[in-house]
Copies of this chain bind each other. A is one copy, B any other.
């Protein structure tokens, strides 16, 4: 698809600086874009690449426009505009509807118009697939699952029985929804399994990354709200509830029965213990261990700073004696106070 900078400006109601007739046919990075490629500047870390860009045009914010050596589209949210333009220039190719000969589909399954079921797929009984659903190769869809219109399972995705997904869901390869939660009850020296009887329920516009797992609920459902985006290798325990438009980066572990509010942002490799609550608009930085509820919106951290190993070893040794160090300081304060008192008494004495 080819368009012009001017057409994009009209479509998205933003300002052109430079030549509106510049042809645009693809996207590129500031560093390597060439020919008819449009680039963008959103992360200030890349501002230094702007001066030398060979892009046909750049999408950027008003404050960067003056430094732009080529034509540009000016907007308050360059990254979101870039996302829209990139989608325009790269329309996703629709899979042709139909069921591959190698696929196996269970009884009483309803398949709406435009559904594509790829090779090596296994679909259970009583499943409902909405209009335009795409089931990629190797996927397994268990009994009684429901997939809303336009939802895509890319490849080797597993939906266990009773998983329900809204419209326009996007599940990447290796994702597992609806496996049993980790419900075990101690019984003397052994553990017995607690039946996991709930399901998994995803709202509309939810994205689930590669090899991410969302467990089924123990009694009620595990619930993921509309617009939630989960990156790869995220673990979501049973009975977790994630509010609308919350985003969770890769390798985050969320233990069972945690409740996460709306519009939260959880950084990569963070971990959240079970049975706690995060309020709306809570931001947790990467590699942070959330051990208690955080009810107030705000940014939270807990990761250790990295250092040269030799220096770290010296500092870490003191970590194990912080309590002692604090007590030493307390004692010093007490003694010093006594000396000061004695001193001022002495002063008084002299006077």
Contact = CB atoms under 8 A, between A and B. Distances in A.
A47 interface: no
B185 A77 contact: yes
Interface string A37-76: 0000011010000000000000000000000000000000
A269 B207 CA distance: 23
Interface string A299-323: 1111111111111111111111111
Interface stretch (A1-9, A13-21, A119-127): A119-127
B308 A319 contact: no
A306 B289 contact: yes
A140 B122 contact: no
Given A182-B232, A286-B289, A319 B305 contact: yes
Contact of A182 (B191, B220, B229, B269): B229
A336 B333 contact: no
Contacts of A321: 315, 326
A233 interface: yes
A269 B272 CA distance: 9
Contacts of A233: 211, 213, 233, 235, 253
Interface of A: 27-29, 32, 42-43, 45, 77, 79-80, 82-84, 86-87, 90, 100, 102, 104, 118-122, 136-138, 140, 142, 154-156, 158, 160, 170, 172-174, 176, 179-180, 182-187, 189-195, 197, 207, 209-211, 213, 215, 219-220, 227, 229, 231-233, 235, 237, 245, 247, 249-251, 253, 255, 263, 268-269, 271, 273, 275, 283-292, 294, 298-323, 325-326, 328-329, 332-333, 335-336, 339-340, 342-343
Nearest to A183: B83
Contacts of A83: 183, 185, 192-195
Contacts of A170: 180, 193
A29 B127 CA distance: 27
A302 to B, nearest CB: 4
A80 B183 CA distance: 10
A269 B254 CA distance: 9
A301 B309 CA distance: 5
A323 to B, nearest CB: 4
Contacts of A332: 329, 332-333, 336
A159 to B, nearest CB: 9
B291 A302 contact: no
A155 to B, nearest CB: 4
A62 to B, nearest CB: 18
Contacts of A271: 251, 268-269, 286-287
Contacts of A336: 332, 335-336, 339
Contacts of A210: 158, 176, 179, 213, 215
A182 B271 CA distance: 19
Contacts of A342: 343
Contacts of A32: 220
Contacts of A209: 179, 182, 213
A283 to B, nearest CB: 8
Contact of A174 (B82, B191, B213, B232): B213
Nearest to A186: B80
A1 to B, nearest CB: 13
